[in-house]
Amino acid sequence: MTTASGLPAIRESVQWAVSESPDGSSALVALAEAAVEHYALNYSKHPPAVLLEEVRATRNLLSVAVPGADHEIAVGLRRQVGWLSALLGNLAYHLDDRAGARTHLTLAGALGESTHEPALTAWASGALAMVATARKDWEHARGHAEYGLQHAPEGLRRAQLLGWALLPALAATGRTAAADDVVSESDEIMRSADELPGRFGYDRAEHRLHVAEAYLTLERFDRAAGVARESIAAAPAETPGWVAATLVLALAEARDAPDQAATRALGVLDLIPPPRLRATARERLTRLERLLSASVAGSATALSERLRALPASIRVDGTAA
């Protein structure tokens, strides 16, 4: 279990290691790998704005050691800078900074290729597809997803790129048959795959979330609700994944059970402090409010009032709220 004080402690250890080996060392590479693992495994335990500052500081510390390092050490450090850049891209996305996300993720993908780390190249491509999907740029979303699939190792990584990156683009463009094929293939992989924890991992809860969202996009509301419930059951309570699946379920219920949908969303707002609400959760809440705009249910009115009072995740001066 990490704590808030544990985050700066990781950065401080990296700082000490760099001061001991300003031209890099195998020990510094190992420490960088451990830092990346810590940030990835504990990604969901900290507000995105807080974690972003720590990951950025650690990346800057490593960059100091790269120029003077010998080739093998430099490659190892650059590979970890790539993974840290991938984290920064995902954090920027969760803070609704899509341009920043594209910048960090493009660097991550380039470092993945130059350091021969196909898992990094694949993951960064999947994240770029996610960012393109958010701006409804379906052509680039599909292109990034397909590029990621070319690099993704077989098994879990392929299922991740199929469900997380390619499926949303296919559903959004109405390619129902192709979307169904992707669901079938990725479901088959997930039945026997070993799940991986953390931000760079993938599990059944996340996979079912992506499938539920695809069904929601395709207006298969009953299927979306059923799969969203599977995701909720598989996700630890009150985590970002649980929040996402709960709000997808509310979106699926909004047409036929508006009071239930609004009450479900209000329950999320009761449990999750505003700094921990990712931009993706806020976007789902906004979509739900629009869907419930014609409802006369008191819960729908209460939801609108709560959303109007919700503080921004980042203040106008750029500091965390």
User: What is the per-residue pLDDT across 103-160, written as a single tens digit (0 to 9) for each?
Assistant: 999 999 999 999 999 999 999 999 999 999 999 999 999 999 999 999 999 999 999 9
Across the range 165-177, mean pLDDT stands at 98
What percentage of the chain exceeds 90 in pLDDT? 95
- Tell me, letter by letter, the H, E, C secondary structure of the chain: CCCCCHHHHHHHHHHHHHHHCCCCCHHHHHHHHHHHHHHHHCHHHCCHHHHHHHHHHHHHHHHHHCCCCCHHHHHHHHHHHHHHHHHHHHHHHHCCCHHHHHHHHHHHHHHHHHCCCHHHHHHHHHHHHHHHHHCCCHHHHHHHHHHHHHHCCCCHHHHHHHHHHHHHHHHHCCCHHHHHHHHHHHHHHHHHCCCECCCCCECHHHHHHHHHHHHHHCCCHHHHHHHHHHHHHHCCCCCHHHHHHHHHHHHHHCCCCHHHHHHHHHHHHHHCCHHHCCHHHHHHHHHHHHHCCCCCCHHHHHHHHHHHHCCCCECCCCCEC
Across the range 218-241, mean pLDDT stands at 97
Across the range 278-298, mean pLDDT stands at 96
pLDDT of residue 1: 44
Inform me whether the pLDDT recorded for 60 exceeds 50. yes
**What are the pLDDT digits (tens) for 174-197?**
999 999 999 999 999 999 999 999
